[in-house]
Amino acid sequence: MLLGFGGKNCWCFKDWMQIDLSLGDGVPSDVSMGLPACTAMCFKGANASGKTNALKVYSFIYDFVRYSFSNTPDKPIMFDSFFHNDEPAEFYAEFLANEVYYRYELTASKKTVITERLFRKKNEEGSRETEIFVREGNAITKNTLYKGHKDILFRDNASFIGTLKQYNLPEISDIYDFFFKTAINVTYYGMSDRGENDPQGLTNYYYTHPEELKFTVEKIKYFDTGIKNIEIKTKLNELGQFYAYPIFYHSLSDNKTHAMAFTEESRGTQALFCKLNNYFEVLNSGGVLVLDEFDINLHPDILPHILDWFIKSENNPKHSQILFTTHNSDIMDILGRYRTYLFEKEDGESFCYRLDEPKTPSLRNDRPLSIPYKKHLIGGFPKIGSKED
Protein backbone atom coordinates (compact mmCIF):
# COMPACT_ATOMS: atom_id res chain seq x y z
CA MET A 1 0.00 0.00 0.00
CA LEU A 2 1.33 3.40 -0.99
CA LEU A 3 1.61 5.77 1.99
CA GLY A 4 3.11 8.79 0.26
CA PHE A 5 5.68 10.15 -2.17
CA GLY A 6 7.35 13.38 -3.10
CA GLY A 7 10.01 15.22 -5.02
CA LYS A 8 12.15 18.32 -4.81
CA ASN A 9 13.74 20.33 -7.63
CA CYS A 10 11.84 18.38 -10.24
CA TRP A 11 9.56 19.64 -12.97
CA CYS A 12 7.54 22.59 -11.56
CA PHE A 13 8.41 21.86 -7.92
CA LYS A 14 11.32 23.91 -6.58
CA ASP A 15 10.81 22.88 -2.96
CA TRP A 16 9.33 19.65 -1.66
CA MET A 17 6.10 18.46 -3.20
CA GLN A 18 4.76 15.85 -0.81
CA ILE A 19 1.70 13.68 -1.22
CA ASP A 20 0.54 12.11 2.04
CA LEU A 21 -1.99 9.30 1.72
CA SER A 22 -1.82 8.30 5.38
CA LEU A 23 -4.87 8.67 7.62
CA GLY A 24 -4.86 9.57 11.28
CA ASP A 25 -7.07 8.36 14.12
CA GLY A 26 -9.58 11.17 13.69
CA VAL A 27 -10.57 10.24 10.14
CA PRO A 28 -14.14 8.90 9.82
CA SER A 29 -14.31 5.12 9.54
CA ASP A 30 -16.19 5.23 6.23
CA VAL A 31 -13.19 7.08 4.78
CA SER A 32 -10.37 5.13 6.42
CA MET A 33 -12.02 1.67 6.23
CA GLY A 34 -9.62 0.77 9.04
CA LEU A 35 -6.62 1.17 6.71
CA PRO A 36 -3.43 3.18 7.30
CA ALA A 37 -3.82 5.08 4.02
CA CYS A 38 -6.66 6.17 1.75
CA THR A 39 -7.59 4.09 -1.26
CA ALA A 40 -8.38 7.08 -3.50
CA MET A 41 -6.82 10.51 -3.94
CA CYS A 42 -8.00 13.27 -6.27
CA PHE A 43 -5.67 16.00 -7.59
CA LYS A 44 -7.46 19.25 -8.45
CA GLY A 45 -6.26 22.59 -9.72
CA ALA A 46 -6.15 24.93 -12.67
CA ASN A 47 -4.41 24.05 -15.92
CA ALA A 48 -0.61 24.07 -15.50
CA SER A 49 -0.91 24.10 -11.69
CA GLY A 50 1.24 20.97 -11.29
CA LYS A 51 -1.27 18.11 -11.07
CA THR A 52 0.19 16.04 -13.89
CA ASN A 53 3.73 16.79 -12.80
CA ALA A 54 2.90 15.44 -9.35
CA LEU A 55 1.89 12.18 -11.00
CA LYS A 56 5.10 12.36 -13.05
CA VAL A 57 7.06 12.33 -9.80
CA TYR A 58 5.59 8.98 -8.83
CA SER A 59 5.80 7.77 -12.43
CA PHE A 60 9.51 8.56 -12.42
CA ILE A 61 10.12 6.67 -9.17
CA TYR A 62 8.15 3.69 -10.50
CA ASP A 63 9.95 3.72 -13.85
CA PHE A 64 13.39 4.19 -12.33
CA VAL A 65 12.95 1.33 -9.87
CA ARG A 66 11.49 -1.09 -12.43
CA TYR A 67 13.15 -0.31 -15.74
CA SER A 68 16.37 1.69 -15.33
CA PHE A 69 18.53 -1.46 -15.24
CA SER A 70 17.50 -2.22 -18.83
CA ASN A 71 18.63 1.20 -20.09
CA THR A 72 21.89 1.60 -21.96
CA PRO A 73 24.74 2.95 -19.78
CA ASP A 74 24.73 6.30 -21.58
CA LYS A 75 21.01 7.01 -21.28
CA PRO A 76 20.18 10.00 -19.04
CA ILE A 77 18.02 9.60 -15.96
CA MET A 78 14.63 10.73 -17.21
CA PHE A 79 13.40 13.64 -15.12
CA ASP A 80 13.50 17.42 -15.47
CA SER A 81 14.88 19.65 -12.76
CA PHE A 82 13.07 22.89 -11.86
CA PHE A 83 13.45 25.07 -14.98
CA HIS A 84 16.32 22.76 -16.02
CA ASN A 85 18.78 23.96 -13.39
CA ASP A 86 21.98 22.00 -12.73
CA GLU A 87 21.22 21.01 -9.13
CA PRO A 88 20.30 17.40 -8.27
CA ALA A 89 16.72 16.37 -7.62
CA GLU A 90 15.41 14.41 -4.65
CA PHE A 91 12.62 11.82 -4.53
CA TYR A 92 11.03 9.50 -1.99
CA ALA A 93 8.25 6.94 -1.69
CA GLU A 94 6.77 5.39 1.45
CA PHE A 95 4.87 2.14 1.22
CA LEU A 96 3.87 -1.10 2.88
CA ALA A 97 5.12 -4.28 1.21
CA ASN A 98 3.94 -7.54 2.75
CA GLU A 99 2.82 -5.47 5.80
CA VAL A 100 6.34 -4.07 6.32
CA TYR A 101 6.97 -0.31 6.12
CA TYR A 102 9.66 0.95 3.70
CA ARG A 103 10.88 4.37 2.67
CA TYR A 104 12.91 4.68 -0.50
CA GLU A 105 14.97 7.83 -1.10
CA LEU A 106 16.88 8.92 -4.20
CA THR A 107 19.09 11.89 -4.98
CA ALA A 108 20.17 12.07 -8.61
CA SER A 109 21.36 14.25 -11.44
CA LYS A 110 20.46 13.66 -15.04
CA LYS A 111 23.59 11.55 -15.43
CA THR A 112 24.07 9.65 -12.23
CA VAL A 113 22.69 8.39 -8.94
CA ILE A 114 24.17 10.43 -6.10
CA THR A 115 22.57 8.52 -3.23
CA GLU A 116 19.95 5.85 -2.75
CA ARG A 117 18.66 4.89 0.68
CA LEU A 118 16.20 2.34 1.97
CA PHE A 119 14.58 2.40 5.40
CA ARG A 120 12.50 -0.33 7.00
CA LYS A 121 10.24 -0.69 10.03
CA LYS A 122 9.03 -4.15 10.96
CA ASN A 123 5.39 -4.78 11.73
CA GLU A 124 6.03 -5.38 15.42
CA GLU A 125 5.05 -3.54 18.58
CA GLY A 126 7.73 -0.98 19.43
CA SER A 127 9.60 -1.47 16.15
CA ARG A 128 11.60 1.55 14.98
CA GLU A 129 12.54 2.71 11.52
CA THR A 130 16.10 1.74 10.59
CA GLU A 131 18.31 2.49 7.62
CA ILE A 132 19.10 -0.83 5.93
CA PHE A 133 20.79 0.19 2.67
CA VAL A 134 22.84 3.19 1.56
CA ARG A 135 24.42 3.69 -1.83
CA GLU A 136 26.69 6.66 -2.49
CA GLY A 137 27.57 6.81 -6.15
CA ASN A 138 28.24 3.18 -7.00
CA ALA A 139 29.65 2.36 -3.57
CA ILE A 140 27.55 0.57 -0.96
CA THR A 141 28.27 2.25 2.37
CA LYS A 142 25.65 0.43 4.44
CA ASN A 143 23.89 -2.85 3.88
CA THR A 144 21.83 -4.99 6.21
CA LEU A 145 19.35 -5.77 3.43
CA TYR A 146 21.18 -8.80 2.04
CA LYS A 147 24.34 -10.83 2.64
CA GLY A 148 27.15 -11.73 0.30
CA HIS A 149 26.89 -11.09 -3.44
CA LYS A 150 30.01 -8.93 -3.60
CA ASP A 151 30.09 -9.44 -7.37
CA ILE A 152 27.06 -7.19 -7.95
CA LEU A 153 27.93 -4.25 -10.18
CA PHE A 154 25.97 -1.02 -9.83
CA ARG A 155 25.61 1.44 -12.67
CA ASP A 156 25.41 5.23 -12.65
CA ASN A 157 21.93 5.43 -14.19
CA ALA A 158 20.27 2.35 -12.69
CA SER A 159 18.41 1.84 -9.42
CA PHE A 160 19.82 -0.62 -6.92
CA ILE A 161 16.34 -2.16 -6.54
CA GLY A 162 16.10 -3.07 -10.21
CA THR A 163 19.73 -4.17 -10.19
CA LEU A 164 19.27 -6.53 -7.25
CA LYS A 165 16.15 -7.93 -8.91
CA GLN A 166 18.21 -8.80 -11.98
CA TYR A 167 20.57 -10.73 -9.71
CA ASN A 168 17.53 -12.62 -8.33
CA LEU A 169 18.10 -11.60 -4.73
CA PRO A 170 15.07 -12.79 -2.76
CA GLU A 171 15.52 -9.99 -0.19
CA ILE A 172 14.42 -7.41 -2.76
CA SER A 173 11.36 -9.28 -4.04
CA ASP A 174 8.71 -7.72 -1.78
CA ILE A 175 9.96 -4.21 -2.56
CA TYR A 176 10.19 -4.78 -6.30
CA ASP A 177 6.80 -6.50 -6.36
CA PHE A 178 5.17 -3.47 -4.74
CA PHE A 179 6.21 -1.31 -7.70
CA PHE A 180 5.42 -4.13 -10.14
CA LYS A 181 1.75 -3.88 -9.14
CA THR A 182 1.44 -0.29 -10.39
CA ALA A 183 -0.48 0.70 -13.52
CA ILE A 184 0.09 4.25 -14.74
CA ASN A 185 -0.79 6.32 -17.79
CA VAL A 186 1.79 9.07 -17.26
CA THR A 187 5.32 8.96 -18.61
CA TYR A 188 8.17 11.44 -18.86
CA TYR A 189 6.56 12.67 -22.09
CA GLY A 190 3.07 13.09 -20.62
CA MET A 191 -0.15 11.11 -20.69
CA SER A 192 0.14 7.80 -22.50
CA ASP A 193 -2.51 5.07 -22.51
CA ARG A 194 -1.29 1.67 -23.69
CA GLY A 195 -4.77 0.64 -24.87
CA GLU A 196 -5.57 3.77 -26.83
CA ASN A 197 -2.04 3.91 -28.27
CA ASP A 198 -2.17 0.27 -29.30
CA PRO A 199 -5.75 -1.06 -29.48
CA GLN A 200 -4.54 -3.98 -31.56
CA GLY A 201 -2.07 -5.03 -28.87
CA LEU A 202 -4.75 -4.63 -26.21
CA THR A 203 -7.15 -6.80 -28.21
CA ASN A 204 -4.50 -9.51 -28.45
CA TYR A 205 -4.09 -9.20 -24.70
CA TYR A 206 -7.82 -9.58 -24.08
CA TYR A 207 -7.82 -12.66 -26.29
CA THR A 208 -5.27 -14.37 -24.02
CA HIS A 209 -6.79 -13.03 -20.78
CA PRO A 210 -10.48 -14.00 -20.85
CA GLU A 211 -11.10 -12.98 -17.22
CA GLU A 212 -10.11 -9.41 -18.02
CA LEU A 213 -12.30 -9.42 -21.11
CA LYS A 214 -15.21 -10.71 -19.02
CA PHE A 215 -14.72 -7.89 -16.49
CA THR A 216 -14.58 -5.31 -19.29
CA VAL A 217 -17.72 -6.63 -20.98
CA GLU A 218 -19.66 -6.70 -17.71
CA LYS A 219 -18.74 -3.12 -16.86
CA ILE A 220 -19.45 -1.78 -20.35
CA LYS A 221 -22.88 -3.44 -20.26
CA TYR A 222 -23.51 -2.05 -16.76
CA PHE A 223 -22.75 1.50 -17.90
CA ASP A 224 -25.71 1.44 -20.32
CA THR A 225 -23.84 1.63 -23.59
CA GLY A 226 -26.40 -0.47 -25.45
CA ILE A 227 -23.88 -3.24 -25.90
CA LYS A 228 -25.03 -6.80 -25.33
CA ASN A 229 -21.67 -8.53 -25.68
CA ILE A 230 -18.12 -8.21 -26.98
CA GLU A 231 -16.27 -11.05 -28.67
CA ILE A 232 -12.67 -11.28 -29.76
CA LYS A 233 -12.45 -12.74 -33.25
CA THR A 234 -9.25 -13.97 -34.87
CA LYS A 235 -7.91 -14.41 -38.38
CA LEU A 236 -4.67 -14.35 -40.34
CA ASN A 237 -3.82 -11.16 -42.19
CA GLU A 238 -2.42 -11.00 -45.73
CA LEU A 239 1.04 -11.81 -44.38
CA GLY A 240 -0.19 -14.90 -42.60
CA GLN A 241 0.17 -13.24 -39.18
CA PHE A 242 -2.24 -13.80 -36.30
CA TYR A 243 -4.73 -10.97 -35.94
CA ALA A 244 -7.33 -10.45 -33.20
CA TYR A 245 -10.13 -7.91 -33.40
CA PRO A 246 -13.14 -7.07 -31.19
CA ILE A 247 -16.75 -7.22 -32.32
CA PHE A 248 -19.34 -5.24 -30.35
CA TYR A 249 -22.89 -6.58 -30.39
CA HIS A 250 -25.73 -4.09 -29.90
CA SER A 251 -29.31 -4.96 -28.98
CA LEU A 252 -31.98 -3.79 -31.39
CA SER A 253 -35.70 -3.22 -30.80
CA ASP A 254 -36.69 -6.36 -32.74
CA ASN A 255 -34.65 -8.57 -30.39
CA LYS A 256 -31.91 -8.82 -32.97
CA THR A 257 -28.29 -7.80 -32.55
CA HIS A 258 -26.07 -5.71 -34.74
CA ALA A 259 -22.31 -6.25 -34.89
CA MET A 260 -20.00 -3.22 -34.97
CA ALA A 261 -16.24 -2.78 -35.19
CA PHE A 262 -14.13 -0.94 -32.61
CA THR A 263 -13.73 2.08 -34.90
CA GLU A 264 -17.52 2.41 -35.19
CA GLU A 265 -18.03 2.69 -31.44
CA SER A 266 -18.34 5.96 -29.53
CA ARG A 267 -15.26 7.49 -27.91
CA GLY A 268 -16.75 6.67 -24.52
CA THR A 269 -17.10 2.98 -25.35
CA GLN A 270 -13.65 2.90 -26.90
CA ALA A 271 -12.22 4.52 -23.77
CA LEU A 272 -13.85 1.94 -21.50
CA PHE A 273 -12.62 -0.93 -23.66
CA CYS A 274 -9.07 0.46 -23.55
CA LYS A 275 -8.96 1.39 -19.85
CA LEU A 276 -10.91 -1.21 -17.90
CA ASN A 277 -8.20 -3.87 -18.02
CA ASN A 278 -6.01 -1.56 -15.89
CA TYR A 279 -8.74 -1.45 -13.25
CA PHE A 280 -9.06 -5.23 -13.33
CA GLU A 281 -5.31 -5.75 -12.87
CA VAL A 282 -4.97 -3.30 -9.99
CA LEU A 283 -8.11 -4.42 -8.17
CA ASN A 284 -6.98 -8.04 -8.37
CA SER A 285 -3.36 -7.41 -7.37
CA GLY A 286 -3.89 -4.89 -4.57
CA GLY A 287 -1.81 -2.41 -6.54
CA VAL A 288 -1.84 1.30 -7.34
CA LEU A 289 -3.56 2.83 -10.36
CA VAL A 290 -2.25 6.28 -11.36
CA LEU A 291 -4.29 8.13 -13.97
CA ASP A 292 -3.97 11.57 -15.47
CA GLU A 293 -7.43 12.86 -16.50
CA PHE A 294 -9.15 9.65 -15.49
CA ASP A 295 -12.51 11.07 -16.57
CA ILE A 296 -11.53 11.83 -20.16
CA ASN A 297 -14.15 10.58 -22.67
CA LEU A 298 -16.27 9.16 -19.84
CA HIS A 299 -19.77 10.31 -18.87
CA PRO A 300 -19.73 12.14 -15.49
CA ASP A 301 -22.33 9.75 -14.05
CA ILE A 302 -19.99 6.80 -14.61
CA LEU A 303 -17.23 8.28 -12.45
CA PRO A 304 -18.82 7.69 -9.00
CA HIS A 305 -19.35 4.03 -9.87
CA ILE A 306 -15.69 3.66 -10.80
CA LEU A 307 -14.62 5.30 -7.54
CA ASP A 308 -16.88 2.90 -5.61
CA TRP A 309 -14.60 0.06 -6.73
CA PHE A 310 -11.92 1.63 -4.54
CA ILE A 311 -13.66 3.52 -1.72
CA LYS A 312 -16.14 0.85 -0.63
CA SER A 313 -14.55 -1.93 1.37
CA GLU A 314 -16.84 -4.64 0.00
CA ASN A 315 -15.63 -3.83 -3.54
CA ASN A 316 -11.95 -3.57 -2.64
CA PRO A 317 -10.86 -6.49 -0.45
CA LYS A 318 -7.21 -6.18 -1.52
CA HIS A 319 -7.03 -2.46 -0.63
CA SER A 320 -6.10 -1.29 -4.10
CA GLN A 321 -5.54 2.44 -4.59
CA ILE A 322 -6.27 5.02 -7.28
CA LEU A 323 -4.57 8.42 -7.68
CA PHE A 324 -5.88 10.68 -10.39
CA THR A 325 -6.29 14.15 -11.81
CA THR A 326 -9.65 15.41 -12.99
CA HIS A 327 -11.42 18.58 -14.04
CA ASN A 328 -14.71 17.26 -12.65
CA SER A 329 -15.39 19.20 -9.45
CA ASP A 330 -18.20 16.91 -8.28
CA ILE A 331 -15.57 14.28 -7.49
CA MET A 332 -14.42 16.46 -4.60
CA ASP A 333 -17.82 16.06 -2.95
CA ILE A 334 -17.55 12.27 -3.18
CA LEU A 335 -14.03 12.01 -1.78
CA GLY A 336 -14.10 14.86 0.74
CA ARG A 337 -11.28 16.80 2.30
CA TYR A 338 -9.17 13.80 3.38
CA ARG A 339 -8.88 12.51 -0.18
CA THR A 340 -8.42 15.70 -2.18
CA TYR A 341 -5.23 17.63 -2.96
CA LEU A 342 -5.32 21.14 -4.43
CA PHE A 343 -2.49 22.43 -6.61
CA GLU A 344 -1.54 26.05 -7.20
CA LYS A 345 1.31 27.87 -8.89
CA GLU A 346 2.99 31.16 -8.01
CA ASP A 347 5.90 32.69 -9.96
CA GLY A 348 6.36 29.46 -11.89
CA GLU A 349 6.58 27.31 -8.75
CA SER A 350 3.86 24.78 -7.91
CA PHE A 351 2.76 23.68 -4.47
CA CYS A 352 -0.05 21.54 -3.10
CA TYR A 353 -1.98 20.80 0.09
CA ARG A 354 -4.49 18.22 1.23
CA LEU A 355 -7.80 19.77 2.15
CA ASP A 356 -7.73 18.56 5.73
CA GLU A 357 -4.53 20.58 6.26
CA PRO A 358 -5.99 24.13 6.32
CA LYS A 359 -7.80 24.78 9.59
CA THR A 360 -10.94 26.06 7.88
CA PRO A 361 -14.20 25.45 9.78
CA SER A 362 -16.25 25.31 6.56
CA LEU A 363 -14.26 22.34 5.26
CA ARG A 364 -16.16 19.58 7.00
CA ASN A 365 -16.17 16.13 5.47
CA ASP A 366 -19.98 16.06 5.46
CA ARG A 367 -20.25 19.25 3.40
CA PRO A 368 -19.71 19.70 -0.36
CA LEU A 369 -16.25 20.92 -1.31
CA SER A 370 -17.16 21.97 -4.83
CA ILE A 371 -19.09 25.03 -3.62
CA PRO A 372 -16.24 26.79 -1.73
CA TYR A 373 -13.86 25.56 -4.45
CA LYS A 374 -15.82 27.28 -7.22
CA LYS A 375 -16.15 30.41 -5.08
CA HIS A 376 -12.33 30.63 -4.83
CA LEU A 377 -12.50 30.17 -1.06
CA ILE A 378 -10.07 27.25 -0.79
CA GLY A 379 -7.71 27.85 -3.72
CA GLY A 380 -6.92 25.75 -6.76
CA PHE A 381 -9.73 27.11 -8.97
CA PRO A 382 -8.66 28.78 -12.24
CA LYS A 383 -8.84 32.59 -12.17
CA ILE A 384 -9.74 32.97 -15.81
CA GLY A 385 -9.34 36.48 -17.12
CA SER A 386 -7.93 37.85 -13.87
CA LYS A 387 -5.26 40.52 -14.03
CA GLU A 388 -2.57 41.07 -11.43
CA ASP A 389 -0.25 44.03 -11.05
Q: Give 352's strand partners.
A: 343
Residue 380 lies in a domain: no
Residue 178 above 60 pLDDT? yes
d(CA 89, CA 86): 9
Closest listed residue to residue 246, CA positions, set 233, 228, 259:
233
Residue 389 above 50 pLDDT? no
**Do 256 and 296 have their domain in common?**
no
d(CA 329, CA 61): 28
In the chain, the number of structural domains is 2
Residue 388 lies in a domain: no
Helix, strand, coil percent content, the chain, rounded in steps of 5: 30, 30, 40
**Do 147 and 215 have their domain in common?**
no
User: Which domain covers residue 57, as residue numbers?
Assistant: 2-181+287-374
**Residue that finishes a domain, picked among 272, 295, 311:** 272
**Do 41 and 79 have their domain in common?**
yes
Residue 59 lies in a domain: yes
Q: Judging by beta carbons within 10 Å of its beta carbon (0-12, 13-18, 19+), is residue 83 exposed, middle or buried?
A: exposed
DSSP label at 326?
A: -
195, 200, 220, 241, 277 from 229: Cα distances, Å: 19, 19, 9, 26, 16
Which CATH number do you get for residue 67? 3.40.50
**Do 22 and 55 have their domain in common?**
yes
**Do 232 and 361 have their domain in common?**
no
**Do 16 and 146 have their domain in common?**
yes
Residue 190 lies in a domain: no
d(CA 132, CA 164): 14
Q: For residue 370, what pLDDT band results from cuts at 50, 70 and 90?
A: confident
Q: What is the pLDDT of residues 301-350, one digit of tens each?
A: 999 999 999 999 999 999 999 999 999 999 999 999 999 999 999 999 99
DSSP label at 37?
A: B
**Residue that finishes a domain, picked among 216, 240, 272:** 272
Residue 188 lies in a domain: no
**Do 250 and 342 have their domain in common?**
no
Q: What is the pLDDT of residues 117-126, one digit of tens each?
A: 999 998 777 7
Residue 187 lies in a domain: no
Q: For residue 358, what pLDDT band results from cuts at 50, 70 and 90?
A: low
Residue 280 lies in a domain: no
**Residue that finishes a domain, picked among 209, 243, 272:** 272
d(CA 121, CA 334): 33
Q: What is the pLDDT of residues 214-251, one digit of tens each?
A: 999 999 999 977 899 999 999 988 888 888 999 999 98
For the chain, the maximum distance between any two Cα atoms, rounded to a whole number of angstroms, is 74
Residue 149 lies in a domain: yes
pLDDT value of residue 253 = 82
d(CA 49, CA 331): 18
**Do 223 and 350 have their domain in common?**
no
Residue 369 above 60 pLDDT? yes
CA dihedral 314, 316, 321, 327 (to 10 degrees): -60
Q: Give 14's strand partners.
A: none
**Do 177 and 201 have their domain in common?**
no
**Do 152 and 232 have their domain in common?**
no
pLDDT value of residue 124 = 76
